[in-house]
Structure 1
Amino acid sequence: MVLGPTYGTVILREVHNTNVTVACKQLHLWKCSQVTVFLHSFRPPIVRECVKVHFAAFNVSYEVNRIHSL
């Protein structure tokens, strides 16, 4: 799943067996399992009641101005 750049908070709830690419101010994960998140964020993610969640570097390219304007 690839989410476009988001100015605010992204909330993922009950996501399973998925790769997610997201650029946002902050990411919240609730009750997720077997998820790899390719993340660009200005704040640390909040992870609650999740198992086997892995984080990696953001892996999508956008115009420089779009990412840095978040």
Structure 2
Amino acid sequence: MARVLQLNSSTVWNWIKKGWIRTSRSSGRYHQIRSKDLKQFLQNPPQRVKKRIAAIDQDAIEYLVG
């Protein structure tokens, strides 16, 4: 996901740790982000990252959330 959105994976991981993006554990240490949770985050991001989210390519977002 981070690669498609052209974000650093540590950035996405920080957002997950802050509780901004919900995940479920698929196995062991791997987390899975459901498309509805990603869509909710991208549509209503925290104020601190709103500009960064707005700069993401809309085609990449469509690819991930449908």
What interval of TM-score do these two structures reach, taking the shorter chain for normalisation? Answer: under 0.3
TM-score, reference length from structure 1 = 0.25
TM-score, reference length from structure 2 = 0.26
- Point out the structure with the larger helix share: 2
- Point out the structure with the larger strand share: 1
